Every structure is written in structure tokens, then in C-alpha cells.
Amino acid sequence: MHQHMQVPPLEGRARCNYVNLPLINGDRLKTAKTLVDKAIKEKKVFSVQGPYPVIRAGLRARGWVERRLPRLSVPRPRRHDLETEATDEGDSSDDDDLGEEGERDDEADDLYDLMSRLVRNETAYFYWTTRRDSVDCRSLRKDQMTNHYAKAGSFTTKVGLCMSLRNLQWFDAADPDTFFPRCYRLGAEDDKHAFIEDFRRTACTSLLMYVLEKYAGDSEWERTREMHDAKSHGLSKTRKQHANQRVGSSIIDNALHVCQEYLNSLEHCDIDMTLETTPTLSEQQWKVFLQNYYLVIHEGLTIEGCEDYAERCKCMLEQMRCFCPQMETDGLCNIWIIKPGAKSRGRGIMCMNKLDEIMSLVDADHGIMKDSKWVVQKYLERPLLVHDTKFDVRQWFLVTDWNPLTVWFYRECYLRFSTQPYSTHTLDSSVHLCNNSIQKHFEPSPDRNPSLPAECMWSCSQFRSWLAASGQGDLWKGVVVPGMQKAVIQTLLTAQDSVEPRKASFELYGADFMLGRDLRPWLLEINASPTMAPSTGVTARLCPAVQEDTLRVVLDRRCDRNTHTGGFQLIYKQAAVEVPQYVGVNLLVEGTSIRRPRAPVYKPLIQSHPDTLSKSSSHRSSLISSHCISGKENQSEEAKKAWPTLSSRKVTLEKSLIFPPKLRKRPHRLVLPSTCCVLPNLAELHPQKLSLTHTQPDHPPTHRTHSNLPSLYHPTPSLDVINLRPRQTLASGRYKHEMHTVNISYPVLRVQKYLSLNRRRAMDTFTEREGPKSS
């Protein structure tokens, strides 16, 4: 037996819990330090946010060391669902079937983990993130690279793309309706009214196309409806109720009238119409028209005597095709697709074909009206089908600079198929949405062509083989690829002024296209941070290649301009636009305050006859008045008698003035009436600054101060030339005597009175206060 004795704890000793840390191999630590020191010296420290094992492996192979970003503490249901929803940053990744498999492999590597700990306090010079707002581009240094541009949401969001392409006419001579389906913002009042008009007009053209196809007897729409009815095990209840009903031919007349008025508006034939002009159809008439349209198109009712309108419908449609490039893809059902803003992977997208249902959705959701992020876009009802199945195309492109705009286009792309055969008689998302994140939740239809892949994806080479088998192999390089490149370039040009350019940034985008029956590509949307998840065999091959080639363009090509860029080819490089440098000049507006002018004081002046003008220059004299006539009436009468007899002539003014160096007290200033010429007070002027400049009567003064009260330029005759500027500067107390020749007219009488009176007063004042001074 063992006796258990309780041993008291030793005083002054604390309990310690020891953590078993893994032993670090000395050689491994030395190797890690060597690689880290070299990476820090060469500025090769990077940070990656998200599951991008290919990016990590490519950077490590180039000698880069990862500085791990802190993990987010809030758990998220999906690792790859990192796009911005609350903010208007853009539609980012569009797949979510990659977990943290790649990161677990990275963490298992002790060497990389050790190197990451050694650079945890270093500056990262390369950032690759999924969210655009993860890194503030404005706070980065010039040598720090990131895979996003600020404010790129002007074309990566559905609203931004819709608004940007409306300005295409200012950047290129192209029509966005030739490659981008018509799109409207549901939250904007003006766009909502424009959408209503477009929906009604499209219903009219669809009805005319229905009449034409019905008369021709080769209606594809009729065949697909019969197939849909057979799969649905009979007619719907609504169609059974209206099986024996017919719609009047007035619906065709209304459609023709609406189309004709639209053509007239395009040719400005309605320019003389007033706002009070009655519209073609009232709101009630439009409501009845659309109800009959739904019965004909959706329920299969026939129109009475529609064969009589076939020729008129054909002629009208030919005219409409000249102005509506999307009429061939509009179809008959008038389907529109409603997309929420700043969401990807097809979330929240709905297809609708009735106007009242769409407007009910807008009125019910106040958030649509608040943020205007929801858009409604015309659905392409007649796309190119592969074995009666709809598909879209995911195409990558890379932007490495925005000034000048530099675009790289990837040579390969892939197709995404839906799991169900295509039909416009159903609005199910399994038929119309080709996103892999949506189609993976559906089982392929048993009626689906067995030649289509189970993974619902084709590579570009597989699609080209199908085109070649159908006799359209040349259209891939001749129509599809040039159309996609042109659409990408024109979209980027419209958004160039909105995106903040940065030399050390780049961004990889994923554009989604649909092909028309003529293989013309139609741009649907552009995604930032496109998915790189190897969800299928096609993406498992293409996505790693795209990431590796991206590093070749943005890293390897910086060191060697002739390096191989993989699948990327440069399709557009804009001419450099010089940005004026800021030199730090302060823009100032200088001026003086406006002062209220003093009230003019009117005093009678002495008027002299022109005969008293002296032309002698041998003694000191001035222009002395010889006749004085007081009173306003006598003065005006004398002026009337004297002025008509005078003409503009050349005379000599004698100037012989003596000025003291400085007056102790400013003498009283004489103010002239508004009809007189105003000259500065000679007693106030320093002898060295005497200058009465030339003044032309046809040009008003540039400024007005309190010293030049009434304007010299009155409708009465004025002085032609006045110049009393001394040619030499005289010392104080001395005088200069010189002659000036000027051209004068009638007001010289008043000028001579002013000079004579002002001089006498100045001399009398100076003599009284200073006393006589010998010369």
C-alpha cells in the first residue's frame, strides 16, 4: 500500500503551463531566413486573400514570400462568396464550390508558414484579393501592386454598365443597341417611363411579326408551343377557356399606327406637335391592347382577318429594322429579365413577360426606388442554340493600365449550358439562366440531347468543332471574336473617365456574352474577380492557365518586354494622354472693396474764349480766362454760340508749373459737374509723378475710384488727346517749361478754365502758408 501524502505548494513559486512547440529544424530556419532576406531586398512580399492556390504557387516560384493576411473572425457560409452586396462595388466572383482545400495544403507546409511569420511586419508589394475594398488603392505606394482599380463599378455593376454605354456616342461612332440589349433602371422615374414605352412598342412589333409568320405558315413559335403543350400534358386552364374566342383586327391597326408614329418621331416629323396633343392610345386603350396581346401570344387566340394585314405588316417591319437592330432577337413573347444590382451568380434574377407584373414588383419593393440598383433588360428570345439548348460564353480580359487604356484579350473561353431544352413558353430559371451556380442544382432533362456534356460546359475548341460541323467554322474568327473584342473595348472607353487610373494596378474581368443566330455576340454583363474554381473539367484546365498567364503579363513582362504572355494578346493600347502636372500655383482672386461715391458738388466755372489762348513760351503764364459769365443760362447760351464755330484743330498748350516738395495740408478739391472733363488735382500730385495719360473717348476707364467722379466720356464732345507727362524728372523746388501739342475740340474751354483756376488757387495757398520763395 502506498500512503498518499499531501505536499503543500512551495512558497514563492507560480504554476506554469508549458506549450509543446514543434521543433524547428536549423537548416530549414536558415533556408527560410535566406529566402526571406532576398525577397525583402528585392521587394517580393505578397499577400493573397481568398483561395487562389495557383497565384500563390506562381508567386512562390518567382521568389516571392507571402505575408498572410489576418483571417476574418466572422464565419461565413461560403468561402468564395466575397462579392460586395451592400456597397456598389461590383459583381465579383460567380461561383462558390471551392472551399479551403488550397489553404489547408499551404498551411501544412512548415517552410512557407515559417517564412510568412518572418515577414509578418514587412510591407507587401503585391496584393491579390477578391473584394475591391479589401485594399485601399489610394494609400498604396507607387511600387505596390494590386489586382483592382478604384471606382471600377461604373461598368462591373449592372446599373453602371447600363448607364455607361449610353455615353458611347461621345467616344466612338457606334450604337450600343448593336451589342448590348436595351436596359433601364427601375428606380429612376424617367427610365421607368421609357421602359413602359419600350414594352408597349415591342408588343406592337411582336404582334406584327406574329401576323407575318402566321400568314407564311412557318411559325417556329407555333411549333415550340405545341411541343411545350405536349410536355405539359395538354392545354392550360386559361387556354381551354379561350379556345373558341377570337380577337378583332383593330389590334393590328393600333400596332401599325404606333409603329408609324415611332418612325415619325425618329425622323422628327412630330417636331411641330404640342404637349397637349392627344396620344395615339390612352392608358385605358393600352390596357385593353396588352390584354388582347397576351391572349394572342400567350394563350394562342387567333386574330380575325390577320391574313389581310400580312403585306402591311411586312412593309412596316422592314422599316422598323432600319432603326431597331435588336428586333430580330426580340421574339414574340416580349420577355424581360429583371436583375438586382451588385449581385452575381444569377441570384435574384427573374424573367417576366407582363408589364403589370413588372410594375407591381417595382411598386412593392421600396428598396428598388431608393437605391436604383435594379435594372430591367430585354431578354434575347432568339439566341443561337446548340442542340436546342441555350448557352452563354465566359470570356476573360485583362486591363493593365487606364491611361493609356491597355487591354489584353484571352484566346480561350468556355460555354455554359442550361440543363433544360430552350423554350419561351416557360420562364423557369433552369431554362434561361446558364450560370453554373444555378444549373448545378438541376438534373439534366431526359429530353436533352445526349451529345451535350453532363457538366454543362464546353471549351472553345469544342464549340468551334461544332460550328465547323454545321458549316459555320469561319464565323468564329470572322464574327464572334471581333465582336466580343469590339464590345469590350467600347465598354471600357465609356468607363475610362470614371475609373481611377493607377500604374501599378491591374484587373482581370470576366465578360458574359450570348450569341445571336447570326453569331453576333451580345454583351450581358462584366464581372470583377471572376471565379477561378475548378468546378468542371473545362474550368480545371482553363482557370489555372488564366491565372498563370496573368502573372506573366503583370510581372514577367515588366522585366522583359519580349516575354511570352501565354493566352493573352494585346488587342488595344490607347495613345497616351498627357496630364498637366500640378505645379502648386495658388489660384487667388484679388480685388478691392466697392466704396459708395461721394455726392458731386456742382460749382460754376469760369469760361474763356478760345482767342485768349496764349502761344508764347518765353515767360511763365497759363491759360487765363478773360471773360467771366456767371449763371447757368448765360453760360449755356454762350457755349451754344461759341461751339458751333469751332472745329477740331491743333493748338499748343503751354505748361510752366512750380510745385512745392510737399504740402502740409491738402487743399480743398474742386469737383466738376458730370458734363465736364475731370482731371486730377494738380496740388495733390508730386512733381516727380505728374502724368496725365492719353485717353481715348471710345474706350471707358478700366476702374472707377472716388477721385475720378463723373465719367469723362459723356455724349458731349470730349478731349481728343491729353498728355502732360514731363520728359525729365526735376529736383524739388525747381520747375520745367515745355510745350505740348494736342488735338482739341470744344471742351478745351473747360479744360483751360480748370487748369487756370486750379493753378491760381494752389499758388495762392502755397504763398500764404510758406511765403514767397526766391527762384
Strands (E) located in 4-144 = 45-48, 65-66, 126-128
- Give, as one character, the DSSP assignment of residue 228: H
Q: How confident is the model at residue 587 (pLDDT cuts 50, 70, 90)?
A: low
Q: Residue 467 in contact with residue 481, Cβ under 8 Å?
A: no
Predicted local confidence at residue 29, as pLDDT = 87
Burial class (CB in 10 A: 0-12, 13-18, 19+), 715: exposed
Nearest to 734 by CA among 682, 680, 679, 657: 657
746 neighbors 705 (Cβ within 8 angstroms): no
Contact 573, 405 (CB under 8 A): yes
pLDDT, residue 134, reads 86
pLDDT tens for each residue of 135-158: 888 889 999 999 999 888 889 988
Residue 72 has pLDDT above 50, yes or no: yes
Q: What is the pLDDT of residue 191?
A: 92
Angle CA 359–365–370, to nearest 5: 105
Q: In this structure, what DSSP letter does residue 762 have?
A: H
Spatial distance between the Cα atoms of 477 and 178, rounded to a whole number of angstroms:
19
- Whether residue 302 has pLDDT greater than 60: yes
Buried b vs exposed e over 381-409: b needs ≥16 C-beta within 10 Å? bbbbebeebbbbbbbbbbbbbbeebbbbb
Per residue, the 3-state secondary structure of 619-666, as one string, reads CCCCCCCCCCCCCHHHHHHHHHHHHHHCCCEEEEEEEEECCCCCCCCC
Residues 555 and 549: their CA atoms lie apart, in Å, by 10
Give residue-wise pLDDT tens across range 503-534: 999 999 999 999 999 999 999 999 998 989 89
Task: Please state the rounded mean pLDDT for residues 547-551.
Answer: 96
**Contact of 79 with 98, CB cutoff 8 Å:** yes
Report pLDDT digits (tens) over 170-193.
988 899 999 999 999 988 889 999
Instruction: Tell me what pLDDT residue 623 has.
Output: 40
Higher-confidence residue of 239 and 705: namely 239
* Average of per-residue pLDDT across 446-457: 90
* Residue with grid cell 486591363, as numbered in its chain: 399
Computed on alpha carbons and rounded to an integer, the radius of gyration of the chain in Å comes to: 45
Classify burial at 594, counting beta carbons within 10 Å of its beta carbon; exposed 0-12, middle 13-18, buried 19 or more.
exposed
- Measured distance between the N- and C-terminal CA atoms of the chain, rounded to whole angstroms: 144
- Please compute the mean of the pLDDT values over residues 47-69 and round it to a whole number: 93
Q: Residue 85 CB: number of other CB atoms within 10 A? A: 16
Q: How far apart are CA 301 and CA 293, in angstroms?
A: 9
**Is pLDDT larger for residue 332 or for residue 703?**
332
Tens of pLDDT, residue by residue over 680-729, are: 554 554 444 444 444 444 444 444 444 444 444 444 444 444 444 444 44
Higher per-residue confidence, 184 vs 732: 184
pLDDT tens per residue, range 478-488: 999 999 999 99
Average of pLDDT values for 119-143? 90
pLDDT at 260: 92
Length of the chain in terms of residues written: 775
Average pLDDT, the chain: 76
pLDDT value of position 756? 64
Residue 73: alpha-carbon gap to chain centroid: 37
Question: What are the distances in angstroms from CA 169 to CA 166, 173, 490?
Answer: 7, 6, 10
pLDDT at 390: 95
What integer pLDDT is reported at residue 436 of this predicted model? 82
The continuous run of DSSP H or E covering 515 comes out as strand 507-515
C-alpha cell at position 697: 473717348
Contact between 564 and 548 (Cβ < 8 Å): no
Nine-digit cell at 647? 472745329
Look at residue 270 and tell me whether its pLDDT is greater than 60: yes
Residue 749 has pLDDT above 70, yes or no: no
CA-to-CA separations, 692 to 70, 677, 689, 703, 728, in angstroms, rounded: 79, 13, 10, 16, 15
Q: Among residues 206, 600, 615, 218, which one has the least CA distance to residue 424? A: 206
Q: Grid coordinates 473617365 are at which residue?
A: 497
For residue 70, what pLDDT is reported? 80
| Choice among 135-139, 473-477, 541-545, 663-667 with the minimum mean pLDDT | 663-667
